[in-house]
């Protein structure tokens, strides 16, 4: 099954609309194997949707999503769940199972997909928790953890089955600088140590740029540009430059479309 | 004229939405219940749900059953004593409970107690991305989360309904025999003569099973299908109680017409 | 350990539910009386069985000693055929006892009342009670009463 191509994920001509709104319009994105790829763009541009498309939680209107040589939208329910075992996903909220302890959360994928003996499950779980620095917390329940710790436990759970592809959905949102730094380091470390391929979806420019080998900038249902980080920084495309340098006004306007300001103020019309 | 057409279009749109939701819930039920679960701990999952759906509903069922049986006996006695046939109070209490109140009131209480909890729990799991996360781990949430809850509902409610009836009849006996002084022999023997196991007890049980199916289905589907926000969950919970109650009462009429 | 208590409570719950069904079967619908093992069958022909149902009680001196198990039409004799199961321990019914269909109260249910005869022979399995008294049909009674009043006025 392992197709040793240069790209682990290959999105070909993906179109996706939700409630009459075009999220993607014939988009091509390729995720190189063994690297950390950042996907960036303004909020609400469909970055999370992209991960859900790869994980087949959503179905594209047209186009192919090839992961490891398999076209995901064409798989049957059974094959799909098998294919997902190759993927790990870190959700924004962590999404730990609230009725299970930290240990059981990490052990969960092992228990449902393997029939390993209990002491081996224990070794693997402690190993994964050690990797995220939370081995000492394995007896706690999720509601006893801070937000950053929850995300790290979720990360340990996502890598429990040694997936080939890790997807991070906004991993830096709402984190204090310390746990943000921990996460940045972890993503890089895990990618290199476990030989993963990673996709980081984020709008936090500095953090993403600091770990990503390759960057995509998406917006308006299009890929605005892609390339190495420094290439993009110096891009001529005004939209990319606005995003990369964080300018408030530009091609993406600061103001919501409206009538003339003066006219609005002077008019007696009640709004 | 334009407004009229607009309104018609809106009505049509709402109708289509209802039909689509019905179709979605049917597919949902089919997928959750067909196919073997691949988890070694499927039994353990069912057990947990039986506890939270069934055992935790016991208290409310027993207390309401007791009071309803007592009220039935009191009301029945006051009517029957006028005809000098107060010894028939036992059969009245038993038949009312077995045929109607047992299954119906249990289903309504079950919708309020267990159904709303199911909806809220599943809705919350959806809102906190736990369901998505299960999917990405390669576990079908329909099998892992939904199926055990459905089965727990199907199993628990008929049992609760039977318990409700027994407690109610016993409560009726307490009022009629111990308090109002109906001869206990005629309370029980009249009841035994009037109650037919096949047509009364079994038909009541069939009703309870049908209600269990409908209530649990609605509750679990509303949770699974809700909008994953706190507002969406609260709306879905309300919908569960309203839809389930209406469905139970409507279905009760149809079943009664068919059975008795 | 927590799993164990969970198993136990759920077990108790399911047991309670099944037990409830058993109580409904035995105590409430009186299926126990159907146990024909410790009873014997006798039958009787009535000119009119109106209102009598299966599982109606069979009494003697006001005490239930059995129940009606079958009612059907005897097409040879144009009468109602009633089969009764009498408790085994009531084995001293004389063969010439009388079976009558009586009503509990004015509008109550119908049941079979047996009054003792004087024969030395006792009723046994499969015997017939020959002496019977039919159900009292209220309409007939009222009709006869009206007829009597009319004729006495003449």
User: Does position B132 have pLDDT exceeding 80, yes or no?
Assistant: yes
What are the residues whose beta carbons fall under 8 Å from the beta carbon of A124, sequence distance 6 or more? A107, A110, A116, A160
Residue (of B120, B156, B152) closest to B45 by Cα position: B152
Q: In angstroms, what separates the C-alpha of B156 from chain C's closest C-alpha?
A: 8
pLDDT of residue B252: 94
Name chain B contacts of A85, Cβ cutoff 8 Å. 137-138
- Phi, then psi, of C3 in degrees rounded to 5: -60, -40
Under 8 Å between Cβ of A64 and A71:
yes
Provide the pairing of β-strand A36-40 with A214-219.
Answer: parallel
Name the residue range of residue B173's domain.
35-259
Where is pLDDT greater, at B64 or A265? B64
Q: Do B135 and A84 touch (CB under 8 A)?
A: yes
Check CB contact of C21 with chain B, cutoff 8 Å: yes
pLDDT of residue B166: 94
- For residues C25 and C54, state if they share a domain: no
Q: Do B41 and A95 touch (CB under 8 A)?
A: no
Q: Do B162 and C17 touch (CB under 8 A)?
A: yes
Q: For residue B22, is it within any domain?
A: no
Q: How many CB pairs under 8 A join A and B?
A: 58
**Kind plus residue range of the DSSP H or E element containing B48:** helix B42-49
* Cα Rg of chain A, angstroms: 21
User: Does position B206 have pLDDT exceeding 70, yes or no?
Assistant: yes
pLDDT of residue A2: 44
Cα–Cα distances (Å) from A117 to A107, A163, A241, in that order, read 12, 20, 54
Check CB contact of B166 with chain C, cutoff 8 Å: yes
Most confident of B14-23, B104-113, C133-142: B104-113
What is the number of structural domains in chain C?
A: 2
Residue (of A170, A191, A210) closest to A32 by Cα position: A191
Q: For residue B10, is it within any domain?
A: no
Q: For residue B15, is it within any domain?
A: no
From the centroid of its chain, how far is CA C89?
Answer: 17
Q: Which of A81, A87, A89 sits opposite B140 (nearest CB)?
A: A81
| Helix, strand, coil % in chain B, rounded to nearest 5 | 90, 0, 10
Name chain A contacts of B137, Cβ cutoff 8 Å. 84-85, 108-109, 112, 157, 161
Q: For residue B14, is it within any domain?
A: no
Name chain C contacts of B84, Cβ cutoff 8 Å. 105-106
Nearest-angstrom CA–CA distance, A108 and A199: 23
What is the number of structural domains in chain B?
A: 1
Most confident of B1-5, B133-137, B152-156, C99-103: B152-156
Where is pLDDT greater, at B15 or B118? B118
Chains C and B physically touch (3 or more Cβ atom pairs below 8 Å): yes
Q: Do B159 and C25 touch (CB under 8 A)?
A: no
Query: Dmax over Cα atoms in chain A, in whole Å?
Result: 77
Helix (H, G, I), strand (E, B) or coil at A101: coil
Residues of chain A with pLDDT under 50: 1-3
Question: Whole-model pTM?
Answer: 0.76
Q: How confident is the model at residue B122 (pLDDT cuts 50, 70, 90)?
A: very high
The CATH number of A7-99+162-178+191-266, from 3.30.70.1400, 3.40.50.300, 3.30.360.10, 3.30.390.30, is 3.40.50.300
pLDDT of residue C31: 64
Q: For residue B114, is it within any domain?
A: yes
Chain B residues whose C-beta is within 8 A of a chain A C-beta are 38-41, 128-130, 132-133, 135-140, 144
pLDDT digits (tens, 9 = 90+) for A229-265: 777 777 777 777 777 777 776 666 677 777 778 777 8
Q: For residue B50, is it within any domain?
A: yes
Q: Do B55 and C10 touch (CB under 8 A)?
A: yes
pLDDT digits (tens, 9 = 90+) for B141-171: 888 889 899 999 999 999 999 999 999 999 9
Q: For residue B204, is it within any domain?
A: yes
Name the residue range of residue C108's domain.
38-143
User: Does position B114 have pLDDT exceeding 90, yes or no?
Assistant: yes
Nearest CA in chain B to A79: B138
Check CB contact of B253 with chain C, cutoff 8 Å: no
Q: In angstroms, what separates the C-alpha of B115 from chain C's closest C-alpha?
A: 18
Residues of chain C with pLDDT under 70: 1-2, 30-37, 105-108, 153-154
Place of tokens 């149902």: C53
- For residues C30 and C96, state if they share a domain: no
Q: In angstroms, what separates the C-alpha of B166 from chain C's closest C-alpha?
A: 6
Where is pLDDT greater, at B86 or B257? B257
Q: For residue C154, is it within any domain?
A: no
- Considering chain B, what percentage of its residues have pLDDT values greater than 90? 55
Q: For residue B20, is it within any domain?
A: no
Where is pLDDT greater, at B62 or B32? B62
């Amino acid at each position: 099954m392992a197709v040793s191509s240069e790209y682990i994920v290959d999105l070909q001509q993906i179109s996706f609309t939700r409630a009459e709104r075009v999220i993607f319009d014939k988009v091509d994105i390729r995720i190189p194997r063994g690297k950390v790829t950042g996907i960036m763009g303004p909020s609400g541009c469909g970055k999370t949707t992209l991960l859900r498309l790869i994980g087949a939680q959503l179905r594209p209107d047209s186009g192919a999503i090839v992961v490891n040589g398999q076209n995901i939208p064409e798989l049957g329910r059974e094959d799909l769940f098998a294919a997902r075992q190759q993927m790990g996903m870190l959700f924004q909220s962590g999404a730990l199972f609230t009725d299970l302890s930290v240990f059981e959360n990490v052990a969960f994928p092992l228990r449902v997909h393997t029939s390993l003996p209990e002491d081996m499950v224990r070794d693997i779980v402690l190993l994964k928790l050690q990797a995220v620095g939370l081995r000492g917390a394995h007896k706690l329940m999720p509601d006893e953890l801070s937000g950053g710790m929850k995300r790290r436990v979720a990360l340990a759970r996502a890598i429990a089955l040694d997936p080939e592809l890790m997807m991070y959905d906004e991993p830096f949102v709402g984190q204090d600088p310390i746990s943000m730094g921990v996460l940045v380091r972890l993503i890089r470390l895990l990618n290199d140590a476990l030989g993963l391929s990673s996709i980081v979806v984020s709008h936090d420019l500095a953090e993403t740029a600091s770990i990503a080998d390759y960057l995509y900038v998406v917006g308006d249902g299009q890929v605005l540009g892609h390339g190495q980080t420094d290439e993009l920084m110096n891009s001529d495309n005004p939209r990319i430059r606005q995003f990369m340098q964080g300018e408030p006004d530009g091609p993406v306007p600061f103001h919501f479309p409206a009538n003339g300001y003066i006219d609005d103020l002077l008019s007696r019309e009640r709004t | 004229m334009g407004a009229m057409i607009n309104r018609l279009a809106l009505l049509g749109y709402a109708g289509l939405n209802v039909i689509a939701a019905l179709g979605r819930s049917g597919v949902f039920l089919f997928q959750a219940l067909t196919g073997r679960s691949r988890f070694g701990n499927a039994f353990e999952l069912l057990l947990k749900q039986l506890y939270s759906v069934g055992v935790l509903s016991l208290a409310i069922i027993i207390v309401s059953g007791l009071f309803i049986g007592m009220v039935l006996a009191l009301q029945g006695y006051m009517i029957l004593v006028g005809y000098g046939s107060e010894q028939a109070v036992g059969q009245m209490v038993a038949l009312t409970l077995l045929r109607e109140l047992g299954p119906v009131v249990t289903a309504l209480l079950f919708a309020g107690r267990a159904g709303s909890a199911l909806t809220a729990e599943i809705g919350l799991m959806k809102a906190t991305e736990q369901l998505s996360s299960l999917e990405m781990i390669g576990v079908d949430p329909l099998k892992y989360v939904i199926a055990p809850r459905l089965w727990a509902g199907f199993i628990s409610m008929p049992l609760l309904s039977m318990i409700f009836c027994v407690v109610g009849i016993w409560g009726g006996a307490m009022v009629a025999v111990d308090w109002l002084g109906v001869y206990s022999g005629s309370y029980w023997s009249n009841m035994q003569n009037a109650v037919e196991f096949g047509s009364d007890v079994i038909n009541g049980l069939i009703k309870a099973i049908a209600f269990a199916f409908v209530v649990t289905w609605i509750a679990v589907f509303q949770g699974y299908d809700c909008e994953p926000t706190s507002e969406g969950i609260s709306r879905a919970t309300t919908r569960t109680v309203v839809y389930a109650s209406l469905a139970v009462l409507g279905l009760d009429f149809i079943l009664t017409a068919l059975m008795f | 350990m927590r799993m164990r208590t969970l198993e136990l409570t759920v077990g108790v719950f399911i047991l309670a539910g099944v037990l409830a069904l058993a109580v409904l079967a035995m105590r409430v619908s009186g299926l126990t009386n159907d146990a024909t093992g410790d009873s014997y069958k006798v039958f009787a022909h009535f000119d009119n069985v109106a209102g009598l149902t299966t599982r109606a009680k069979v009494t003697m001196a006001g005490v239930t000693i059995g129940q009606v198990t079958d009612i059907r039409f005897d097409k040879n004799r144009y009468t109602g055929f009633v089969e009764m199961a009498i408790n085994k321990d009531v084995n001293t019914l004389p063969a010439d006892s009388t079976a009558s269909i009586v009503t509990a109260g004015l509008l109550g249910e119908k049941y079979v009342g047996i009054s003792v005869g004087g024969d030395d022979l006792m009723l046994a399995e499969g015997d017939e009670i020959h002496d019977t008294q039919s159900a009292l049909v209220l309409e007939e009674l009222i009709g006869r009463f009206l007829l009597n009043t009319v004729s006495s006025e003449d």
